[in-house]
């Protein structure tokens, strides 16, 4: 927290923002005490709320912010319609610049980068590429593989996605990384897991993992790329945004190796399949895996620096707890041109 004001819950992504803030307020107050959290109503259905001086004054007094889940385009439609700032957005941005925490879950995490991933699937993104849309149009992915739109830009260093492993979204994050100009770093945050950003240091906290895709040294060839660096950050693992160095938690031990060959899933973009495959790959003697996807292929290799670590116990989907990996390289082969939308 920064300052003595309340920690503010922003319900804009919810279908009924008037009531959606009540539960999160009660949850935060269970940890920090009565009166320490407050909902601030800003609604895409009532865009004037983002320009209301009384609402802006509430935001200026907040010690931190939490954006709830729902639909991320509702947030940007209210705070940054068509990419243009509102007084509400400027108030949150000002508080963030002096140290107030800005956090969010699901849609509240998606809005942190700018541009943000607004919609789409991994398979669709891989075969048909991406388009830029704003407002309500960002909710319609029927004519594109993936929709990008303006985000709020509180995490300017990289692109981000959410529900990452649970919903098989690594394909669409890879496409965004390769196709959005100006970015060579992306983070995929899984459910019940947080990416904590503190200056140039980020770390994973929670039940699952955060995937890191680093294309700084990748060799591009049209819509494809070779040598994208990948890390998997389990709880406690850290990453430096400047040096691009991954550091495993000191509490972890090496993952047992020498296991059987990996049986590749029929659909690597299916829910949880990427996580389960990484767990098996880390244990096996295999050095390379490849999957055909949407007219192309993804190949994952262990570099000489590969290592995998774990915490004691079992984590989500019966993989080891705190699974972390570094020293992975990924080749992404995509069709030379995007396919025609249905």
Position 341 scores a pLDDT of 37
Q: Residue 245 phi/psi, 5° resolution?
A: -95, 130
Q: pTM for the full model?
A: 0.94
For 68-184, strand residue ranges (E) read 101-104, 116-120, 130-132, 146-149, 159-162
Position 342 scores a pLDDT of 32
Check: CB of residue 61 under 8 Å from CB of residue 5: yes
Position 143 scores a pLDDT of 55
Residues of the chain with pLDDT under 70: 1-2, 136-137, 140-144, 338-342
Cβ-proximal residues to 141 (8 Å cutoff; 6+ apart), any chain: 119, 120, 121, 124, 147
Size (the chain), residues? 342
C-alpha dist (Å) from residue 127 to 124, 188, 264, 329: 5, 20, 20, 21
Position 4 scores a pLDDT of 78
Position 336 scores a pLDDT of 79
How far apart (Å, rounded) are the C-alpha atoms in residues 58 and 76?
19
Q: Which two tokens stand for residue 168?
A: 């098989």
Position 139 scores a pLDDT of 74
Q: Quick one: angle between helices 87-97 and 53-60, nearest 10?
A: 10
The structural domains of the chain, ordered by start, are 1-104 (3.40.50.880), 112-342 (3.40.50)
Cβ-proximal residues to 30 (8 Å cutoff; 6+ apart), any chain: none
Check: CB of residue 212 under 8 Å from CB of residue 187: yes
C-alpha dist (Å) from residue 236 to 173, 221, 264, 293: 23, 35, 28, 32
């Amino acid at each position: 927290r920064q300052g003595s004001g309340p920690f503010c819950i922003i319900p804009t992504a919810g279908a009924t923002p008037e009531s959606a803030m009540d539960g999160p307020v009660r949850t935060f107050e269970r940890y920090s005490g009565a009166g320490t959290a407050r909902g601030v109503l800003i609604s895409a259905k009532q865009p004037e709320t983002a320009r209301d001086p009384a609402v802006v004054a509430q935001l200026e007094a907040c010690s931190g912010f939490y954006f709830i889940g729902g639909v991320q385009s509702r947030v940007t439609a209210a705070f940054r319609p068509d990419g243009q700032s509102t007084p509400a957005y400027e108030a949150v941005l000002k508080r963030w610049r002096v140290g107030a925490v800005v956090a969010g879950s699901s849609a509240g995490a998606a809005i942190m980068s700018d541009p943000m991933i607004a919609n789409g699937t991994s398979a669709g993104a891989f075969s048909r590429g991406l388009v830029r849309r704003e407002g309500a149009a960002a909710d319609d992915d029927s004519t594109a593989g993936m929709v990008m739109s303006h985000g709020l830009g509180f995490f300017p260093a990289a692109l981000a996605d959410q529900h990452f492993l649970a919903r098989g979204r690594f394909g669409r994050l890879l496409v965004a990384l390769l196709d959005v100009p100006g970015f060579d770093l992306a983070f995929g945050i899984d459910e019940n897991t947080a990416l904590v950003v503190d200056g140039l240091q980020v770390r994973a906290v929670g039940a699952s993992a955060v995937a890191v895709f680093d294309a700084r040294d990748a060799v591009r060839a049209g819509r494809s790329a070779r040598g994208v660096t990948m890390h998997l950050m389990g709880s406690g693992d850290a990453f430096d945004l400047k040096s691009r160095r991954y550091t495993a938690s000191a509490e972890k031990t090496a993952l047992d190796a020498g296991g059987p060959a990996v049986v590749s899933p029929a659909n690597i973009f299916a829910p949880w399949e990427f996580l389960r495959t990484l767990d098996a790959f880390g244990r096996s003697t295999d050095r390379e895996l490849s999957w055909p996807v949407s007219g192309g292929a993804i190949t994952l290799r262990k570099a000489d620096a590969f290592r995998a670590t774990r915490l004691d116990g079992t984590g989500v989907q019966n993989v080891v707890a705190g699974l972390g990996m570094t020293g992975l390289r990924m080749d992404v082969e995509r069709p030379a041109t995007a396919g025609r939308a249905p």
